[in-house]
Chain A
Amino acid sequence: MTKSSVIQVPPKGGFSFDLSRRNAMLQQQGAKLPKYRKTGTTIVGLVYKDGVILGADTRATEGEIVCDKNCEKIHYLAPNIYCCGAGTAADTENVTDMVSSQLALHRYATGRDSRVVTALTMIKTHLFRYQGHVSAALVLGGVDVTGPHLHAIYPHGSTDTLPFATMGSGSLAAMSVFESRYKENLTREEGMEIVSAAICAGIFNDLGSGSNVDLCIITKEGKEYLRNYQQPNPRSYTRSKGYDFMNGYTAVLSTQIRQLRQHVQVLEGDRMDEE
């Protein structure tokens, strides 16, 4: 009567889902999970005659409240590669920072400029390993020795290679502009105009997107990051009287004054070497 015993072997690799199970159990018991800061978002990219143009709106939401009216959604990956991010803000920022560092190390190791497909493969293998739990939907674009490239990357790790791409909650509004106006071999001005129009369509028709338009134009010569290229949403009204809070507006219950001078020691030292 030997008891068949199961030896618990710790998993060797991959993602451990224990905490996901714990979260589901807590939620069933009534605990509220914290809201993630998402980027609602409209992000787009298109390939034109000389390279790639990326565009993004600048609104970050926490549920239905705007938590940042002017955030940056176009992230640096390499001097010739940039990436727009939609989805959970922490996920997009950390994935792009991580891959940017990996690409820099790769450049030092190989002695060559980074290629867009390298960034693409690094990102997609990371996202696939996390089975979609890293909620990052990205539009990756850049110009390398093989030419201009544009890719759309989905949270589960699949990718599309496209001449024009949109992601985020405003992607349908933006795609409608692209589908009606895109053609091959656009000039720089035409490309910028179409990208801004697509982002504006997202800003005005999607409630998850808003505020300003950011653009990034990448060519083989270099990049041009146009932060707040358009600001079509100024504040509509400000009270003429202003808000005045005089002393005594809030009741002061007690006052304690301490002289910090007695507790602070000033030490002289050498200046730090400047590099």
Chain B
Amino acid sequence: MRSWKLAKMSMVFAPRLAESAPTSHVGASWSPYDNNGGTCVAIAGADYCVIAADTRMSTGFSILTRDYSKIHHITEKCVLASSGFQADVRSLQKNLDARHQIYQHQHSKQMSCPAMAQLLSNTLYYKRFFPYYSFNVLGGLDNEGKGCVYTYDAVGSYERSGYSSQGSGQTLIMPVLDNQLKSASPLVLPPRESSTPLTESEAVDLIKDTFASAAERDIYTGDGVEIVIINKEGIRRETMALKRD
């Protein structure tokens, strides 16, 4: 009897055991984003800049098209290559084009590459809480005619460097570029040149080889690579076929 009463009391006073850990967040039934894959690379030289991107657009395990350009010419001296969600990339490109047009009306000249770099960063951060799913590499010639490459994350953090890669093949290509180009860290003092000592044709050769290697191991990279070379003569475009499997 007594034991039964005690049991009853303990039931009243004993704290109710905490509910098992709060149920995990029910996943959204729909995502506004998709990843169309692809890889972008850029290398800056003393008086040139090479920007390249593969031409495959995919979704899930399927290929949407083998012939899609991820490269956009914003100004005469500045080219943007973006991988990620191509609908957001297209929207971002149109946004930058519009802003550039306004700049040209107001200042009677084209935007310089460093200026466009800053504009791109601000545009991306503006949508900090619903980002452009776009991984960008901006390449061109700066005001002194030297090659410059700017690399971004999805929300606008950017840095000028001698070379960069973004996209699904980034982790495959970056170590090879680090090994072959050995650009100084921006933290090294005194500050060293951030451009790389390869000639233009050597840089193009390296890019073709790195894309061929990335296409071997990354399923989202392949079909073809589009290479844009900017130097004081102007802008030139080359293409090369990649594995289609």
Contacts and interface: CB of A to CB of B under 8 A. Distances in A.
Interface of A: 1, 28, 40, 59, 61, 64-66, 69, 169, 203-211, 232-233, 235-241, 243
Interface string B182-207: 00000000000000000000100110
The 5 closest A-B pairs by CB, nearest first: A210-B245, A239-B209, A237-B212, A207-B219, A66-B217
12 contacts: A61-B219, A64-B219, A66-B216, A66-B218, A69-B217, A208-B61, A208-B219, A237-B242, A238-B209, A238-B212, A239-B209, A243-B180
B77 interface: no
A65 B218 contact: yes
The SS class assigned to the A binding surface is: loop
Given A66-B219, A210-B243, A236-B243, 14 more contacts: A40-B61, A40-B219, A59-B245, A64-B168, A66-B218, A206-B62, A210-B219, A233-B245, A235-B212, A236-B212, A238-B209, A238-B212, A239-B206, A243-B180
Interface in B149-191: 168, 172, 180
Nearest to A202: B245
A206 B180 CA distance: 33
A166 B243 CA distance: 24
A207 B242 CA distance: 14
B58 interface: yes
B209 to A, nearest CB: 4
B116 to A, nearest CB: 31
A166 B47 CA distance: 54
A113 B240 CA distance: 54
A3 B10 CA distance: 17
Nearest to A64: B219
Q: Give the size range of B's interface with the partner.
A: 20 to 34
Interface string B40-61: 0000000000000000001001
B129 interface: no
Contacts of A238: 209, 212
B3 A1 contact: yes
Given A203-B245, A207-B58, A238-B212, A28 B21 contact: yes
B99 interface: no
B217 A207 contact: no
B71 to A, nearest CB: 19
Contact of A236 (B62, B202, B215, B219): B215
B220 A69 contact: no
A210 B219 CA distance: 9
Nearest to A172: B62
Interface of B: 3-4, 21, 24, 58, 61-63, 168, 172, 180, 202, 205-206, 208-209, 211-212, 215-220, 240-245
B218 A236 contact: no
A65 B61 contact: no
B137 to A, nearest CB: 20
B77 to A, nearest CB: 28
A99 B168 CA distance: 39
Contacts of B24: 28
Nearest to B220: A64
Contacts of B240: 236-237
A61 B172 CA distance: 15
B63 A205 contact: yes
B243 A206 contact: no
Max count, chain B CB within 10 A of own CB: residue among A59, A65, A169, A208: A65
Given A1-B4, A235-B216, A204 B205 contact: no
A60 B113 CA distance: 42
A59 B215 CA distance: 13
A169 to B, nearest CB: 5
Nearest to B7: A1
Contacts of B242: 236-237
Nearest to A206: B61
Given A236-B242, A237-B209, A65 B63 contact: no
A236 B3 CA distance: 83
Contacts of A211: 245
A233 B209 contact: no
A237 B241 CA distance: 9
A207 B62 contact: yes
Contacts of A208: 61, 219
Nearest to B240: A237
